[in-house]
Homo-oligomer: A and B are copies of this chain.
Amino acid sequence: MTRVRVDLNISLDGFATTEDGTPENPFGEDWARLTADYVATRTFHERVLHDTSGAGTTGVDDNYAARYFEGVTAEIMGAGMFGLHLYGDDPDWRGWWGDAPPFGYPVYVLTHRPRPSLEFDNGTRFEFLEASPAEGLALAREAAAGGDVRIGGGATTVRDFLRAGLVDDLHVAIVPILLGRGIRLWDDLRGFEAGRRVTSESAPSGVTHVSFERESDR
């Protein structure tokens, strides 16, 4: 059965976004620190950087990175994650991921300014929808054809789905740094753990992986 999944890197103080980007370093140093242990994994090297040299860490962080890619057959993301907040005026913008976006399945981009869909040779297809989370999810579920649907991000989109009760499984990689600013993942989610199996696993990197899996046979 399809499960609706979220994976996020957050700081120990619960921030899922960073705010120190500059024109020279658009993602910023905080983002680099928040994602460093994920980006270092062999899975990230293979799946996102297309680096098949065997580079990258193995172990706990890599295990979770691999799970991130397993079983997902459709995805939903917000307009910002696709880059429309920055490049929405450019009709030729095709996302951040080059010619082989690391999806290989339909990706539904929720936006108030829909545009024509985009197809890539590796099976990735971006569809741009003006739709509520529930409406977008209904489409993605159908497209997933029994596989899992990932809510890819960004933080605001993830929070919309979490608060609407639409997420079955949440995995957070908690990085032991304090950012002190940004979008808080956890606001207004009191009791989210109810009815979910919770597991915690710390990696030698210092990152702790906490998973909430909905106990149901949906």
Q: Which residues of A contact B (CB under 8 A)?
A: 12-14, 174, 176-181, 186-193, 198-203, 206-208, 210, 212
Contact = CB atoms under 8 A, between A and B. Distances in A.
A100 to B, nearest CB: 34
Contacts of A181: 190
Going nearest first, the 10 A-B pairs with the smallest beta carbon separation are A180-B190, A13-B186, A200-B202, A202-B202, A176-B198, A208-B208, A200-B208, A178-B192, A178-B189, A200-B206
- Taken together, the copies of this chain in the complex come to 2
Q: Is the interface of A mostly helix, strand, loop or mixed?
A: loop
Nearest to A179: B190
5 contacts: A13-B187, A176-B210, A176-B212, A178-B193, A198-B206
Nearest to A172: B12
A93 B198 CA distance: 41
Nearest to A196: B176
Nearest to A198: B176
Given A12-B186, A181-B190, 18 more contacts: A13-B14, A13-B187, A13-B189, A174-B208, A176-B193, A176-B200, A176-B212, A178-B186, A178-B190, A178-B193, A179-B190, A180-B187, A180-B189, A180-B191, A200-B206, A200-B208, A201-B202, A202-B208
